[in-house]
Amino acid sequence: MYNSLSYKSKQFFWLIIKLSIVIGCGFFIWQRLTSNSEFHFFDFYQNLIKNNVFSTKNMLFLLISTFLNWFLEITKWETLASLCVKTSKKNATIQSLASLTTSLITPNRIGEYGAKAVYFDKSFRKQIVGLNLVGNFYQMIMTLFFGIIGFGYFVYNHNVSIDYHRVLRFLLLGIFIISAFFFGAKHFNYKGYSAEKARTFINRIPLKLNIKVAMISLLRFVVFSHQFYFLLLLFKIDISYLDAISAITTVYFISSIVPMLSLFDVVLKGTVAIWVFSFFNVEPLLILSVTTLMWIFNFVFPAIIGSYFVLTFKPNFVK
């Protein structure tokens, strides 16, 4: 009798969690689209009509680029997860999209780590979290690499005023924190986690797999940055390819180093993009329209699909 009640309690508990994730995700998406003081949905819609965004050709390109972006992300996760447990493309898709939905309401998408881990047996979960961290690390490296180049080009060509003393203090603080982490981690051991175990785990990842994950991350960056460029062209923004790419990489670079709740990512990127593209005399509404479309296609649509996978997820005790 007790076991039966416990089982039903767990089922009810998981149902509440899943519904909370999906409802919370939907609510915050709606809030982001309707409550921005600088962004009016009616003006945004009129902009889409005016620039023929809903034409078959344009929608096809946007959908294909979104599909390619997520196909690469799913392939990357399939490659990494299979190092631990053989994972099919189907399972990698479910795990990636469900974790996206879950992560949108968490700072810096940290919920993604736990969401992917629950799909695996308890004995593999630490490794899954580590592999997910590796995948995100390579994506961040690509963003920083191209971002630094683009930002350097942008600053050099547009005489951007920078407080170099503040930047230097920021860099020194970053170096101090990283150094303290690496030196302190040597003696860190908490509930089975230690620097030595982390190094052993990282060393187990084959060089070939590291290269493959890095290349997939590079392709993803190329895909979504050029989707952004396509939208600039779609909204008839007069800007050269080189200036556009430097501005786009600068937007992603600055956005990536600012911790924020993922659902506010569209606000952050919109704010940064308005500042960056102001040097090219681009209207704020046009840039907000571009960043909002990027968010809708690459986060909102996949998160809606992921909501289904969240609701249909069954933890081990009910399988």
| Phi and psi at residue 104, to the nearest 5° | -60, -25
- pLDDT band of residue 108 (cuts 50, 70, 90) is low
- pLDDT band of residue 67 (cuts 50, 70, 90) is very high
- pLDDT band of residue 63 (cuts 50, 70, 90) is very high
- In the predicted structure, residue 13 carries a pLDDT above the cut 60: no
* pLDDT in the model for residue 172: 65
Tell me whether residue 129 is exposed, middle or buried, using C-beta atoms within 10 angstroms of its C-beta: 0 to 12, 13 to 18, 19 or more.
middle
Mean pLDDT within 200-220 = 88
Range of lowest pLDDT (88-102, 160-174, 216-230): 160-174
CA angle 279, 284, 288 (to 5 degrees): 120
Condensed to tens digits (0 to 9), the pLDDT of residues 274-316 reads 889 989 999 888 898 899 899 999 988 999 899 888 888 776 5
* pLDDT in the model for residue 219: 97
Condensed to tens digits (0 to 9), the pLDDT of residues 235-270 reads 999 999 999 999 999 999 988 876 554 545 666 777
Look at the pTM and tell me if it is higher than 0.85. Answer: no
Cα dist from 208 to 8, 86, 204, 213, whole Å: 46, 17, 11, 9
CB atoms inside a 10 Å sphere around CB 233: 13
* pLDDT in the model for residue 185: 47
* pLDDT in the model for residue 285: 85
- Listed residue (292, 286, 295) closest to 232, CA to CA: 286
- pLDDT band of residue 173 (cuts 50, 70, 90) is low
- In the predicted structure, residue 220 carries a pLDDT above the cut 90: yes
CB atoms inside a 10 Å sphere around CB 246: 25
Cα dist from 284 to 241, 308, 311, whole Å: 20, 35, 38
* pLDDT in the model for residue 196: 58
